[in-house]
Amino acid sequence: MGKLKDTFNPFPTTKYIDPRYFCDRETELEMLKSAYKNDRPITIFSMRRMGKTGLIKHFQTHLNSSKKNLCIYVDMFSTNSDEEFVEKLVNASILALNNNKKGFLSEIIEVFGNYKPKFTLDPLTGAPGLELDIRNKSDVKMSLAALFTLLGSQKKRIHLAIDEFQQIANYENSTNIPSTIREYMQDTKNIRFLFSGSQRHLLLELFNNPKQPLFRMVDQLILEEIDSKKYKEFIISQFDKANRVIQPEVVEDLLNWARSHTFYVQVICNKLFSLPKKIIENTDLKQIKYSIKKELEMNFIAYKNLLSKNQYKTLKGIAKENIVKSVRTKYFTNKYNLAASTANQSLKYLVDAEIVYEQNTKKGREYKVYDVFFYRWLQEEG
């Protein structure tokens, strides 16, 4: 076998790189373009790790090809209060504006002068940041007003993507970020909003509860699995571009094993690609599946120890069945040796803890183990 070139791995598992490494999502991209063009706010919702952030970055990469647009991306995952929300939003905006217009930082002082702005530089990336002295709810409201006035005065069309937006529902003593955003949604002409998140009940509450300020104000895009035919072609072509071969039946097997769930597919493909082999065969996939399960086993055992016996039995039953509509049926309770009420209580716990995923389909509710690798470990080893 000839020596393989030290090729860049085309299967990123933690970040978006560029359109060459991004599979499909054509329909979703069209929805995002339409919402943007016609000035409708939009929310992307999916299970965790289905590809929301990747899709947002992919869309913003597309928008960035025109000088008329300016993209802001902010991830609220680590925020715990209104104050942190504002600080993150201000920082992301400043970063985007500063990249756009050099020497912009001095203008900021004027806008945020009341909040004793302190400039910071990220020691790793060198990115400029701003520390604001935001002490109370009125500061939150006023500094958001300052930010939106600043954004509203820009000549460009601004795409503002707020990822993990559901986090605001977890803040303690929260005031009213949604109602403030609603005001600016209505008052500013050049800002297009995109929200994204994965905790369905929190996100749905923000947009589908009539008592909430953002009720029915946004389009909703539910991100599902990438079509397996398209993913298969994509994976084969990535290997082909590196002058390598992955057998089609290996790709089918891996997509099925990973339930076509984007992140898990990417991890398996990344690992297969990293093997120093020209032709990837079934035995390689078998080896990778085994090593993934072993690598994560201690985490899975720790999970197991946190659960009660009945919760674990219920969980394992769901894994063995792949998908279940109910855990109260005679079939399920007999097979896994559970009382119907116990199984149901356990299910409720597992759903709340996001170990089991509850999805609404046209045929009713369905349950499956949320984490794909845990699911396969439970089925095959646990």
Q: Which spans of this chain sit near ligand ATP (rule: CB under 6 A)?
A: 12-16, 22-25, 46, 48-54, 198, 226, 262-263, 266
The answer to whether 74 and 163 have CB atoms below 8 angstroms apart is yes
Distance CA 11, CA 233 (A): 14
State the pairing for strand pair 356-361/364-369.
Answer: antiparallel
The answer to whether 157 and 64 have CB atoms below 8 angstroms apart is no
Q: Closest residue (Cβ) to Mg ion?
A: 53
Strands (E), the chain: 42-45, 69-75, 118-121, 128-131, 157-163, 191-197, 219-222, 245-246, 279-280, 356-361, 364-369
Residue 71 CB: number of other CB atoms within 10 A?
24
Residue carrying structure tokens 């509860």: 209
Nearer to Mg ion (CB atom), residue 53 or residue 260: 53
Nearer to ligand ATP (CB atom), residue 59 or residue 332: 59
Nearer to ligand ATP (CB atom), residue 46 or residue 333: 46
- How many chain residues bind Mg ion (CB under 5 A)? 2
366 binds, among Mg ion, ligand ATP, none (CB under 5 to 8 A by kind): none
382 binds, among Mg ion, ligand ATP, none (CB under 5 to 8 A by kind): none
375 binds, among ligand ATP, Mg ion, none (CB under 5 to 8 A by kind): none
The answer to whether 42 and 221 have CB atoms below 8 angstroms apart is yes
User: At closest approach, how far in Å is the CB of 31 from Mg ion?
Assistant: 18
Q: What b/e string do you get for 262-297 counting C-beta neighbours within 10 Å, with b at 16 or more?
A: bbbbbbbbbbbbeeeeeebeeebbeebbeebbeebe
User: At closest approach, how far in Å is the CB of 50 from ligand ATP?
Assistant: 5
117 binds, among Mg ion, ligand ATP, none (CB under 5 to 8 A by kind): none
- CB under 8 Å to 250, separation ≥6 — which residues? 272, 280, 281, 282, 284, 285
Residue 310 CB: number of other CB atoms within 10 A?
17
Distance CA 188, CA 19 (A): 31
Window 104 to 163, contacts with Mg ion (CB under 5 A): none
User: At closest approach, how far in Å is the CB of 146 from Mg ion?
Assistant: 28
148 binds, among Mg ion, ligand ATP, none (CB under 5 to 8 A by kind): none
User: At closest approach, how far in Å is the CB of 25 from Mg ion?
Assistant: 14
User: At closest approach, how far in Å is the CB of 60 from ligand ATP?
Assistant: 12
Nearer to ligand ATP (CB atom), residue 14 or residue 38: 14
Of 44-52, 100-108, 242-250, 347-355, the segment contacting Mg ion by CB under 5 A is 44-52
AA identity, residue 380 = E
330 binds, among Mg ion, ligand ATP, none (CB under 5 to 8 A by kind): none
Distance CA 349, CA 335 (A): 20
Nearer to ligand ATP (CB atom), residue 41 or residue 54: 54
198 binds, among Mg ion, ligand ATP, none (CB under 5 to 8 A by kind): ligand ATP
Binder of Mg ion out of 36, 42, 45, 53 (CB under 5 A): 53
Nearer to ligand ATP (CB atom), residue 52 or residue 313: 52
How distant is the alpha carbon of residue 184 from its chain centre?
Answer: 25
Distance CA 371, CA 299 (A): 12
Of 53-61, 112-120, 184-192, 360-368, the segment contacting Mg ion by CB under 5 A is 53-61
Nearer to ligand ATP (CB atom), residue 74 or residue 226: 226
User: At closest approach, how far in Å is the CB of 287 from ligand ATP?
Assistant: 22
The answer to whether 169 and 205 have CB atoms below 8 angstroms apart is yes
Nearer to Mg ion (CB atom), residue 176 or residue 220: 220
- Tell me which residues touch Mg ion (CB under 5 A): 52-53
